[in-house]
Amino acid sequence: MLRFTPVLTFLLLGAAAFAVARPSLAEDSADLILRHGVFYPVEPAGRVEGSLAVRGGRIVYLGPDAGADRFRGPKTRVIDLAGRAVTPGLIDAHSHLGGLGQALQEVDLKGAATFDEVVRRVREAAGRVPAGSWVRGGGWDQNRWPDKQFPTHDALSAAVPDRPVWLDRVDGHAALVNARAMEILKLDASTKDPSGGRFLRDAQGRPTGVMIDNAKGEMAGRLPGLSLEERQRGLRLAARHCVERGLTTVTDMGIGDPYYQAYDALRRAGELPLRAALFLGDDADLLARWFKRGPEIDPEARLTVRGVKMYIDGALGSRGAALIEPYSDDPNNLGLLVSTGDHLEEVSRRALAAGFQVAVHAIGDRGGLVAIDAMERALGGPKPEARFRLEHSQVLRVQDIQRMARLGIIASMQPTHATSDMPWAGDRVGPARLAGAYAWRKVLDAGGRLALGSDFPVESDDPRLGLYAAVTRQDLQGNPPGGWLPGERLTREEALRGFTLDAAWSLFLDKEVGSLAVGKRADLVVFARDPMTVPVAEIPKAEIDYTVVDGRMVFERGSSERGNGR
């Protein structure tokens, strides 16, 4: 691979820009020029000080400030960055935008010190929920309240009589519903307790609204699905939330047609401010339809459907991840495979033939082994262009990390999972297996490709937290000192590449976005403080001033006082 020095890069970029430049015709002038900036193109590595010009949604110039003048016309918006830093738009390679949309609409009841406080928060939120929609919330904990008793629905039903309300307890093992919800769910005195669950009742045997374990599960099964409008509303909210954090491309891992339809309607209406890459869930009918129809590759690269998300095992925290040797803290437990290698192989073959990639959730080393074996059989040998992905890749044997690199299987990893799991991951797998745990550095050292993301809303959607976790392997308080398994830390350049160009590669979007280069779509982020040079502890606080998608401002912080000057 050629490696350009920054100076040579500078000259090459300047020359390329000169070749396409023709002076001062209005139709040739740029729509946007960012001047006096520090640009991190990602490929080639390094930085470029100067200007970037955008026309028709694409980058037409990146180089010295003087060279950008010929792109300036009467309608060009020129922003003086005064030395601010610009990176390619950030990409979350594994996320759930629909899930984030739902999470953002839930009432947060964490920390409520009384039941009255719960009712107050829910009443307030209910006013913003359209008629007919459920009011959802979670996080209440009666142990924080003076009497430490489970609540009853009465005060809640009186405060919100007209809309159904469902409030999860902080641990997810119980929920409280109001009277309107009980009506819809057909929960009354005649409802029997299921095994492994209980509806709390008053002296007359009537449900008080609190449902424990399987009783909650049974009622959850009766909840109506979201309408198209509800899905669209969630996606709009979530997309706006993401562009405010510098994300210009996100994913939705494991969806079905109802969400696809919501995305498609938003795209047609011009209401999708960022790019979304959708991965279909592992459902036989859904896949049969899509494999027949073929991938959807939007010419504007706003909405693509060309991936299939499958599962091979569970999660490490609940000891559902499948391990080759037993859990170090549970010697009779190997975890659980939720699918088979034969199934993964069969779907992978059909996906390949139909033009789709596959992404397999694999958290334990046995899950990884079975999934990589299956992909290898389907690929028939090294095939990086198929862009098969191993999701999470949390615990792997080192030889399997090397095998992934050889086959071109992408490690799709989430840096904040490591910093969330680090307090107990060592208990689960013991010191020897930690060598291949959350091992980003080993992926790169093996010559593999690393696509970074967050798995939001499981973790925070803020990509700055992911960059920070990737380079520090510390929590936000700076613990543990030096970082957890510090040999696996990435440089900032590597972390940025994982959240931009290599994430784009993992979505077949690398020809369009992921780096700042003449000809590419102008997706970029302007930071108030340079995340590539501030002290690492300040990376999460590097404010975003502008987020640009296809050359258009989709987020602008404090637009009135900032940025329009020459």
Of 290-319, which residues contact Zn ion (CB under 5 A)?
Answer: none
Nearer to Zn ion, 67 or 99 (CB): 99
Which of 3-11, 250-258, 336-344, 499-507 is the region at the interface with Zn ion (rule: CB under 5 A)? 250-258
Nearer to Zn ion, 309 or 433 (CB): 309
Nearer to Zn ion, 253 or 322 (CB): 253
Q: How far is the CB of 458 from Zn ion (least distance, A)?
A: 6
Question: Which neighbouring-strand residues pair with 53?
Answer: 33, 61
| 461 contributes a contact to Zn ion by CB under 5 A | no
| 459 contributes a contact to Zn ion by CB under 5 A | no
Which of 79-87, 217-225, 248-256, 261-269 is the region at the interface with Zn ion (rule: CB under 5 A)? 248-256
Q: How many residues bind Zn ion (CB under 5 A)?
A: 2
- Helices then strands, counting H and E runs in the chain, come out as 19, 23
Q: How far is the CB of 94 from Zn ion (least distance, A)?
A: 6
Which of 269-277, 316-324, 342-350, 454-462 is the region at the interface with Zn ion (rule: CB under 5 A)? 454-462
- Binding map of Zn ion across residues 357-396, x = CB under 5 A, - = no contact: ----------------------------------------
Q: How far is the CB of 214 from Zn ion (least distance, A)?
A: 25
Q: How far is the CB of 321 from Zn ion (least distance, A)?
A: 14
Q: How far is the CB of 412 from Zn ion (least distance, A)?
A: 10
Q: How far is the CB of 96 from Zn ion (least distance, A)?
A: 6
Residue with tokens 């006013």: 127
For helices 97-105 and 228-243, what crossing angle results, to 10°? 100
Q: How far is the CB of 282 from Zn ion (least distance, A)?
A: 13
Please state whether beta strands 85-88 and 32-39 pair in parallel, antiparallel, or not at all (unpaired). Answer: parallel
| 230 contributes a contact to Zn ion by CB under 5 A | no
- Binding map of Zn ion across residues 252-281, x = CB under 5 A, - = no contact: -x----------------------------
Nearer to Zn ion, 253 or 451 (CB): 253
- Please give the residue whose beta carbon sits closest to Zn ion in the complex: 455
Q: How far is the CB of 281 from Zn ion (least distance, A)?
A: 11
- Burial grade of 560 (CB within 10 A; 0-12, 13-18, 19 or more): exposed
- In degrees, to the nearest 5, what angle opens at C-alpha 422 toward C-alphas 430 and 312? 70
Nearer to Zn ion, 42 or 360 (CB): 360
Find the helix or strand (DSSP H, E) in which 115 lies: helix 115-126
- In degrees, to the nearest 5, what angle opens at C-alpha 183 toward C-alphas 177 and 188? 85
- Using the CB atoms, write b or e for 223-238: b if 16+ within 10 Å: eeebeeebbbbbbbbb
Which of 79-87, 127-135, 245-253, 329-337 is the region at the interface with Zn ion (rule: CB under 5 A)? 245-253
| Count of residues making up the chain | 566
Token digits for 94?
């594994």
Q: Which conformational region is residue 174 in: left (phi greater than 0), alpha (psi within -120 to 50 degrees), or beta?
A: beta
- In degrees, to the nearest 5, what angle opens at C-alpha 504 toward C-alphas 486 and 278? 110
The Cα 172–Cα 216 span in angstroms is 9
> Is residue 462 within 8 Å of residue 101, measured between CB atoms?
no
Nearer to Zn ion, 85 or 253 (CB): 253
| 92 contributes a contact to Zn ion by CB under 5 A | no
| 462 contributes a contact to Zn ion by CB under 5 A | no
Dihedral Cα 512, 514, 519, 525, nearest 10 deg: 120
| 455 contributes a contact to Zn ion by CB under 5 A | yes
The Cα 463–Cα 454 span in angstroms is 7
> Is residue 404 within 8 Å of residue 412, measured between CB atoms?
no
Number of other CB atoms surrounding residue 82 within 10 Å: 11
Nearer to Zn ion, 413 or 532 (CB): 413
Contacting positions for Zn ion (CB under 5 A): 253, 455
